[in-house]
Chain A
Amino acid sequence: MWDSEYAAQLLPAFLPAFAVTIGATITGFMLAVLFGLLFAIAGRSAAAPVRWASRSVVEFIRSTPLLVQAFFLYYSVPMLTPVAMPAFATGVLALGLHYGTYMSEVFRSGIDAVPRGQWEASTALHLSKRKTWISVILPQAIPPVIPVMGNYLIVIFKETPTLMAITLVELLLTAKTEASATYRVFEPYTIVGLLFLAVSLIFSLGIRRLEKKWSFGRENEKGGLR
């Protein structure tokens, strides 16, 4: 069933698609971190309307499927506004927004774990809110949640095939195109599966490393961190 020669022929077609998938993963992840931080910080704003708005947006995005959001951004937004973005930009924005809402929950738990005394000491030292976030709170809130953030990196990676629905030529769409051209489905889809497996494993190993490094640092030099 498995034809190695055909598989080898396919590889050049998968190379750019692989780059697109990885690019979408990393950009989507970075956007998710950014939106996650924004949602988490806005969700703790002293101004009630800001808090309320942030929580509503998060709730709304989380209650709708990524696929619907991607469709909306790709097909509906250009009809409603003069803004029309290419598939890649739309795709990573959808990933970023969607997973940003989950990431905000991760950051929220990290932020909640920073003792209240750290906020109070910052106030007593006259630090601005902004400086308190940047220099005191986030540096203590983020390191403990890095492993969970890493897990979302893998989730986002595995979710990239959704973007074939908005014509992004990533791995799965490439496989589908090849398969329909040759009527041979086995090799293309197997290659895609193996690629996903390999990259996911590499990501997990990296996260495991980070986790170890972090707990090491926590015990040995920054014992006060909880």
Chain B
Amino acid sequence: MITQIEKQWYDESAENEAGHALSPSLRPAGGKPIVRFRSVRKSFGELPVLKGIDLDIYPGEKIALIGPSGSGKTTLGRMLMTLEEPTAGTILIDGEPLWAMEKNGKPVRANEKHLQKMRGKVGMVFQHFHLFPHMSVLKNVTLAPRSVLKLSKEEAEELAVAMLRKVGLEDKLHVYPSQLSGGQKQRVAIARALVMQPKIMVFDEVTSALDPELVGEVLSVIKEIAKEGQMAMLLITHEMEFAREVADRVIFGAEGLIVEEGKPEQIFTNPRSERLQAFLQRFL
């Protein structure tokens, strides 16, 4: 099933500036968006969850996505990771539609092969880690580089150890996930996603399942990665301090729409919409 908007996209030029969702003041200088959401809608059965999302994300940009529970933040990230198919609208990655492809010159629904190719640019870290319980930490991190990137065992392990060092777990290589604390599990999950070197990584409330005393270690790892710069990040979070510190831009979504977006200072010190003001009130 191909949506109206996807057809339209095929008729337009991919570089159509008129379709730019982001006001020029917020747009990083130069560069084309790595990810573009255009009029993206998602319903689960009768329930509309996202009601028309326009969002451009630029290479290396750190975006914090905040909003009340149930506003569709996770759904947005999952669509980018190809875990959920939009009901309407287009998601472009590097200018190419994610959920549609061309066949005999006509746009058709993406098949698994197309999705497999496209999702190589995207990574995701989940709230509940989803480590592979039957594999050691090292095996968790080397599985995808070996199988997908076709690295040799030595290359993959070298890369994995480097990433695990980055998240402070190089001494846990041969341990099984069940022997790790929640914070350690999440750091392994981050290392596992990082080795695939995606252009954009979705972090979906990666500290929400953790005991409060373990939140800090995970957030500081993410801050470190953010400083390195090259990878764009979509940080879905309820940690306002963290969002303020890391994000280049903050998006506030509510009831399936982007209500307000801006630089962190503006969003947190000078929220314009009443909806956002009320939301931030709860974090004071």
Comparing A61-69, A78-86, A122-130, A149-157, the segment that makes contact with chain B is A122-130
- The interface centre, meaning the residue of A46, A125, A128 with most chain B CB atoms within 10 A of its CB, is A125
Number of A interface residues at 8 Å Cβ cutoff, please give it: 23
**Chain B residue with the shortest CB-CB distance to A220:** B178
Q: Contact: B133 with A222, CB < 8 Å? A: yes
Comparing A135-143, A185-193, A200-208, the segment that makes contact with chain B is A135-143
Q: Contact: A225 with B83, CB < 8 Å? A: no
- The interface centre, meaning the residue of A126, A136, A140, A224 with most chain B CB atoms within 10 A of its CB, is A126
Q: Contact: A121 with B176, CB < 8 Å? A: no
Q: Contact: A118 with B126, CB < 8 Å? A: no
Q: Find residues 202-226 in chain A having any chain B CB closer than 8 Å to their own CB.
A: 221-225
Query: At the interface, yes or no: B233 with Cβ under 8 Å from chain A?
Result: no
Q: Contact: B147 with A135, CB < 8 Å? A: yes
B176's partner among A123, A131, A139, A221 (CB-CB below 8 A) is: A221
Which residues on B sit within 8 Å (CB–CB) of A59? none
**Chain A residue with the shortest CB-CB distance to B149:** A126
Distance (Å) between the CB of B111 and the closest chain A CB? Answer: 9
Q: Contact: A136 with B132, CB < 8 Å? A: yes
Q: Contact: A224 with B133, CB < 8 Å? A: yes
Which residues on A sit within 8 Å (CB–CB) of B122? 124
Distance (Å) between the CB of B76 and the closest chain A CB? Answer: 15
- The interface centre, meaning the residue of A121, A131, A135, A140 with most chain B CB atoms within 10 A of its CB, is A121
Query: At the interface, yes or no: B124 with Cβ under 8 Å from chain A?
Result: yes
B-side interface mostly:
mixed
Q: Contact: B126 with A120, CB < 8 Å? A: yes
How far is A120 from B116 in the complex, measured between Cα atoms in Å?
13
Q: Find residues 97-137 in chain A having any chain B CB closer than 8 Å to their own CB.
A: 115, 117-118, 120-121, 123-129, 131, 135-136
Q: Contact: B82 with A123, CB < 8 Å? A: yes
Q: Find residues 148-205 in chain B having any chain A CB closer than 8 Å to their own CB.
A: 148, 176-179, 189, 192-193, 196
Given A129-B112, A224-B178: A121 and B132 within 8 A (CB)?
A: yes
Query: At the interface, yes or no: B143 with Cβ under 8 Å from chain A?
Result: yes
Q: Contact: A127 with B133, CB < 8 Å? A: no
B134's partner among A124, A126, A140 (CB-CB below 8 A) is: A140
A121's partner among B116, B130, B134, B179 (CB-CB below 8 A) is: B130
Mark A153-187 against chain B: 1 for CB-CB distance below 8 A, else 0: 00000000000000000000000000000000000
How far is A223 from B130 in the complex, measured between Cα atoms in Å?
13
Which residues on A sit within 8 Å (CB–CB) of B192? 125
Given A46-B112, A221-B178, A223-B178: A127 and B148 within 8 A (CB)?
A: yes
Mark A2-29 against chain B: 1 for CB-CB distance below 8 A, else 0: 0000000000000000000000000000
Given A120-B83, A124-B124, A125-B143: A224 and B116 within 8 A (CB)?
A: no
Which residues on B sit within 8 Å (CB–CB) of A224? 131, 133, 176-178
**Chain A residue with the shortest CB-CB distance to B83:** A120
Distance (Å) between the CB of A121 and the closest chain B CB? Answer: 4
How far is A32 from B198 in the complex, measured between Cα atoms in Å?
42
Q: Find residues 11-63 in chain A having any chain B CB closer than 8 Å to their own CB.
A: 46
How far is A123 from B196 in the complex, measured between Cα atoms in Å?
12
How far is A126 from B189 in the complex, measured between Cα atoms in Å?
14
Residues on A close to B: CB < 8 A?
46, 115, 117-118, 120-121, 123-129, 131, 135-136, 139-140, 221-225
* 11 further contact pairs, Cβ within 8 A, besides A117-B128, A121-B131, A131-B148: A125-B143, A126-B119, A126-B148, A128-B148, A139-B134, A221-B178, A223-B133, A223-B178, A224-B133, A224-B177, A225-B133
